[in-house]
A and B are shown apart, each in its own frame.
Chain A
C-alpha cells in the first residue's frame, strides 16, 4: 500500500517527513481533568520540535486560519465542544499538511456546530489544497461535501462519486429494505438503520 507516494512499512510505518504531512483529528477529544494548558500552547504542541518563536507564530497562523484567534488565551478546559473542535483543527494544521484524517469529526457536536465545522473544513480544504479523508455516518453531509465516497461494511461495498455511491439503489443494497431517510431542522441528514452484513 502507498500513501502520498510512499510505500508503507510492514506495520504501516511511514518516513517521518511523510508522517509530518498527515494530520489526524480523533472522534472524541476530551482533555482530561482541568489541564492548565492555554489554547495557544496546545496548538503550538502540534508543531513538533522547533524554536519557540517559530512555534508561537505557526500557532497564531493556524488559529487565525481556523477562525479561533480570539480563543488563544483561554484554557482548553473552558471551551465548548464546537470551539474545541476548531482548536483541534488548528492543532492539526499548525504545520503545512497534505492529508487530513478525520474520524467522525462531527461526533459530540450539535447540528448547528457540526454544520459550522464542516463549512470551515471544506472552505479550508479548497483554499489550502488538502486531501481530506473522513469517516462519517452523516450521509447528507457526505453527499454535499465529498468528491468521492467509499462505502465500507467489513469490505469495500461500492465507491464512486456521491451521486453514484449514495444512490437510492446502492443505499438499499447497503442497508437493506428497512432504510428510512431522516430529516431534522438544522440541516438535512439521513440516519440509516445499521448496515446489513
Chain B
C-alpha cells in the first residue's frame, strides 16, 4: 500500500520510463534467440563453407569442435549469448574483421545520416502540414499538394542522383558525394561516432565543415523522400484537430492564433511520434541505396554485402544491432507517446 502510494507520488514521466525500461531485457533476449536460430536454420554446414575445397573429414571435425558445433543447440545458444554479452559477434568471413569492429565503424555512419535526415524530415513535414492547414488555399497549401503526390512516387536514389547532378555537377556548391569526410581531412577521434559532433568535441573546425558538408546531400535526399509521407499524415491529423470543438472554443475564448496552433499541434503529436519512430527504424536498413550513391559506408551497405557473400556472422551481427536499435526507438516512441497523451494509462 505504501509502495503503491509512493509509486503514485512519482512524476508521471519517471513512472513511464521505469515501467518501460525493464521490458527491453526480455525483448533483447528474444532478439538474440531469433538471430541465433536464424543462422542455425540456414541450410548447409558452416564448416564446409569456411573450409571450402580444402575440407577433409578431420579438418571439418576439428573446426566443428573449435566452433562448438558438436555441442547441443542449447549449449551453443548459451555460448552465443555469452559471446554477445562480451561484445564478441564473431569474425566476418568477408572482411576478416571482427563483426563488432565492422559494426562499430559503420553503425555510427548510418545513425548520423538518418538522425539528421529525420530531424530535417520532421521540420519540413510538420511545418508544411501546419502552414498548409492554417493558410488553406495559400501557396504553401498548393505546393504541399503537388509535393505530397510527388514524394510518394519518386524513388530516393533518383532524388539523390538529381541533387548530385544539379548541386554538385552543375552548380558545384556542395562537396563530392564520396563518403563521410574529405579524403584529405582526418576523421576526428571517435567519441560518439558522429563526425559532426566528434569534430566539435575535438575542436577540429576543418573536419566539422567537411563532414557537415558531406552530410548535406544525403540528408536532403532522405528528407525530401520521407517528409512527404510525414506531411500527408500530419496534415490529415492536424486538419481534423484544427477544426475540432475545443480549438473552436479556444478561438471563441480569444486565444491568440499562435497559442491555438501550438495546442492543435500538441494534440496531433501521437501519430507523428509513431510515424517518425517507424521511419527511423525503417531507414536503418532502407537507406542503403542512398548510402551506396554517396559511398557512405553505412550499415545498409554492410548488410547487403553480407547477404551477397553468405557472410553469416556479419549478417547475424547486423540483425542484432538493427533489432536492438529498433527496440530502443520503439521504447522511446512508447515513452514519448505516453508523455504526449495524458489519457494513456501508465
A and B: bona fide binding partners:
no
Chain A positions near chain B (C-beta within 8 angstroms) = none
B residues apposed to A, CB below 8 Å = none
